[in-house]
Chain A
Amino acid sequence: MLSQFLQFVFSGVTVGATYALAALGFSIIYNASGVINFAQGEFIMLGGMAAVFLTTAGLPLPLAILIGVLLVGLVGLLVERLAVAPARNAEVVSIIIITIGVSMILRGLVEVTLGKGNHALPHFSGDRPITLGGATILPQSLWVLGVSAVVVAFLAWFFGATRTGKGMLATAYNRLAAQLVGVDTRKVLMLSFVMSAMLGAVGGILIAPIATTSYDAGIMLGLKGFVAATLGGLGSGFGSIFGGLVLGLFEALTAGYVSSAYKDAVPFVLVLIILLVRPQGLFGAKQTDRV
Chain B
Amino acid sequence: MSGLAAAPTQAAETARSRWLGLAALMAFMAVLPLVLPNAFYYDVVIRICINAIIVLGLNLLIGYTGQISLGHAGFYGGGAYVSAILVEHYHVAPPLALIAAAVAIGATAWLVAGAILRLKGHYLAMATLGLGIIISIVITNESRFTGGPDGMSISDFSLFGLRVSGEKQWYWVFAGLLALAVVLAQNLIDSPAGRALQALHGSEIAARVSGIPAAKFKTRVFVLSAVVASVMGSLSAHYMGFITPGLAAFPHSVELVTMVVVGGMASIYGSLFGAALLTVLPQLLARFEGWETVIFGVILVGTMIFLPRGVVPSLAARLRRKEA
Contact = CB atoms under 8 A, between A and B. Distances in A.
A265 interface: yes
Interface stretch (A66-74, A117-125, A176-184, A279-287): A279-287
Given A100-B254, A100-B258, A262-B137, A87 B296 contact: no
B57 to A, nearest CB: 16
B158 interface: no
Nearest to B118: A279
Interface in A1-53: 30, 36
Contacts of B293: 104-105, 107-108, 111
B134 A268 contact: yes
A262 B297 CA distance: 31
Contacts of B134: 265, 268-269, 272
Contacts of B131: 268, 272
B294 A109 contact: yes
A275 interface: yes
Given A268-B133, A287-B120, A101 B126 contact: no
Contacts of A269: 130, 134
B305 A276 contact: no
A227 B126 contact: yes
A101 B119 contact: no
B175 interface: no
B265 interface: yes
A92 interface: yes
A75 interface: no
Interface in B93-135: 112, 115-116, 118-123, 125-127, 129-131, 133-134
B205 interface: yes
Interface size class of B (residues with CB under 8 A): 35 or more
B262 A226 contact: no
Which DSSP category, helix, strand, loop or mixed, fits chain A's interface?
A: helix
B122 A98 contact: no
Contacts of A95: 304
Contacts of B294: 104-105, 108-109, 112
Given A92-B122, A230-B122, A275-B116, A97 B297 contact: no
A102 interface: yes
A202 to B, nearest CB: 24
Nearest to B137: A265
Interface of B: 62, 68, 112, 115-116, 118-123, 125-127, 129-131, 133-134, 137-138, 141, 203-206, 250, 254, 257-258, 261-262, 265, 290-301, 304-305, 308
Given A98-B304, A111-B290, A272-B130, 16 more contacts: A96-B68, A96-B125, A97-B300, A101-B299, A104-B293, A104-B297, A104-B300, A105-B293, A109-B294, A112-B294, A223-B129, A226-B126, A265-B137, A281-B123, A289-B204, A289-B205
Interface of A: 30, 36, 83, 86-87, 90-98, 100-109, 111-112, 219, 223, 226-227, 230, 234, 261-262, 264-265, 267-269, 271-272, 275-276, 279-281, 287, 289, 291
The 6 closest A-B pairs by CB, nearest first: A108-B293, A101-B300, A104-B297, A268-B130, A108-B294, A105-B297
